[in-house]
């Protein structure tokens, strides 16, 4: 029973560790690595938490002790609740992508040039964002076009194109879904969004760090009063910690990713996988015990 308890607790402990660790991720992971590593670990963590809940529910409901069976019922209710929320989030994401795909179709008809794939919307509100659906598009409002210089506008457009090129929306949404299933992962979503913005900043900064920094600062100030939902399908150029992004652009570009951190991430991913498989094996042993094996023998 002690071994089963440890296996059940490990996903939650690992999830809590990821919750705490994500606050210092900037010191260990470069932006492009953080965009991929954090959602991957979050997804693995969420799956292991699901495996833990399924194992607890299966084992608890197989026993005759009423308090233990009650634990199983609670585990089932919690799991179903989080899965329903995850499905609702996915439906919202699909609906948002379907609406935004009109920008992608419009951008596809644009002629080649410096603003290829860019849609300019007639609106006084200064805004710019990337829409990955419908073939992908960078949407810029006339309010922002009028407010920025040509060089600053180019930096903003390159920033948004980087979101599309590196599929930042996909990685962000993977983390969003994982956090809906496992609420402990909510802070990880914010760090992934920040890492995506930092990555896009560095891509735009290849055309000039100073102009990218001023474009970011001015765009953020212009849109200071504008609110955007945290789970938006589009990626705005003023997401993440803007002050930290400006400070980072004022210094040199990030160095190369340390190999030891990558190895640690792979080990963590393997740990999540092993624990999940072990818990699923426990579930299988209880639901479909081998001939001669009692359903509860897994607890011995």
Summarised one tens digit per residue, pLDDT across range 153-200 is 999 999 999 999 999 999 999 999 999 999 999 999 999 999 999 999
Mean pLDDT for the stretch of residues 59-66? 88
Q: Which of 298, 268, 276 is nearest to 53 (CA)?
A: 276
pLDDT of residue 238 exceeding 90: no
pLDDT of residue 226 exceeding 60: no
Mean pLDDT for the stretch of residues 113-142? 85
Is residue 288 very low, low, confident or very high in pLDDT (cuts 50, 70, 90)? confident
Mean pLDDT for the stretch of residues 95-103? 87
For 27-46, the pLDDT digits (tens) are 899 999 999 999 999 999 99
157 compared with 228, residue with greater pLDDT: 157
CA atoms within 13 A on the CB side of 64: 1
Distance CA 10, CA 272 (A): 9
Q: Which of 46, 39, 54, 20 is nearest to 278 (CA)?
A: 54
pLDDT of residue 94 exceeding 60: yes
Surface-to-core class of residue 223, CB atoms within 10 Å of its CB (0-12 exposed, 13-18 middle, 19+ buried):
buried
**CB contact at 8 A, 46 and 178:** yes
- Note the pLDDT of residue 112: 53
Q: CA distances (Å), 165 to each of 99, 124, 125, 254, 287, in order? A: 21, 28, 26, 19, 45
- Note the pLDDT of residue 152: 94
Q: What is the pTM of this model?
A: 0.86
290 compared with 150, residue with greater pLDDT: 150
**CB contact at 8 A, 213 and 250:** yes
Q: How far apart are the first and last CA of the chain?
A: 6
Q: Which of 128, 120, 210 is nearest to 162 (CA)?
A: 128
Is residue 239 very low, low, confident or very high in pLDDT (cuts 50, 70, 90)? low
296 compared with 30, residue with greater pLDDT: 30
Is residue 82 very low, low, confident or very high in pLDDT (cuts 50, 70, 90)? very high
Percent of the chain with pLDDT over 70: 88
Distance CA 245, CA 249 (A): 6
Is residue 2 very low, low, confident or very high in pLDDT (cuts 50, 70, 90)? confident
- Note the pLDDT of residue 173: 95
Is residue 231 very low, low, confident or very high in pLDDT (cuts 50, 70, 90)? very low
- Note the pLDDT of residue 232: 46
Is residue 229 very low, low, confident or very high in pLDDT (cuts 50, 70, 90)? very low
Distance CA 168, CA 173 (A): 9
Percent of the chain with pLDDT over 90: 63
């Amino acid at each position: 029973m002690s071994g089963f308890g440890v296996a059940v607790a490990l996903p939650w402990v690992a999830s809590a560790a990821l919750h705490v660790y994500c606050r210092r991720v900037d010191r260990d992971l470069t932006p492009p690595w953080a965009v991929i590593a954090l959602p991957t670990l979050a997804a693995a963590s969420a799956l292991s938490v699901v495996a833990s809940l399924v194992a607890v529910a299966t084992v608890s409901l197989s026993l005759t002790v009423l308090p233990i069976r009650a634990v199983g019922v609670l585990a089932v209710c919690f799991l179903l609740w989080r899965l329903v929320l995850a499905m609702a989030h996915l439906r919202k994401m699909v609906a948002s992508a379907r609406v935004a795909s009109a920008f992608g179709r419009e951008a596809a008809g644009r002629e080649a040039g410096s603003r290829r794939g860019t849609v300019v919307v007639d609106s006084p509100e200064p805004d710019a964002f990337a829409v990955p659906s419908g073939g992908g598009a960078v949407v810029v409002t006339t309010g922002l076009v009028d407010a920025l210089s040509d060089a600053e506008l180019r930096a903003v457009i390159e920033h948004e194109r980087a979101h599309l090129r590196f599929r930042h929306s996909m990685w962000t949404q993977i983390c969003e879904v994982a956090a809906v299933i496992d609420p402990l992962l909510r802070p990880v979503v914010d760090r992934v969004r920040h890492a995506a913005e930092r990555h896009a900043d560095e891509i735009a900064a290849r055309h000039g760090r100073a102009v990218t920094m001023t474009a970011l600062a001015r765009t953020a100030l212009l849109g200071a009063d504008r609110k955007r939902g945290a789970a938006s399908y589009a990626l705005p150029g003023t997401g993440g910690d803007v002050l930290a992004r400006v400070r980072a652009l004022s210094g040199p570009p990030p160095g190369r990713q340390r190999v030891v951190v990558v190895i640690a991430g792979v080990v963590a991913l393997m740990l999540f996988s092993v624990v999940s498989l072990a818990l699923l094996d426990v579930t299988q042993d209880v639901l479909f015990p081998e001939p001669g094996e009692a359903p509860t023998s897994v607890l011995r």
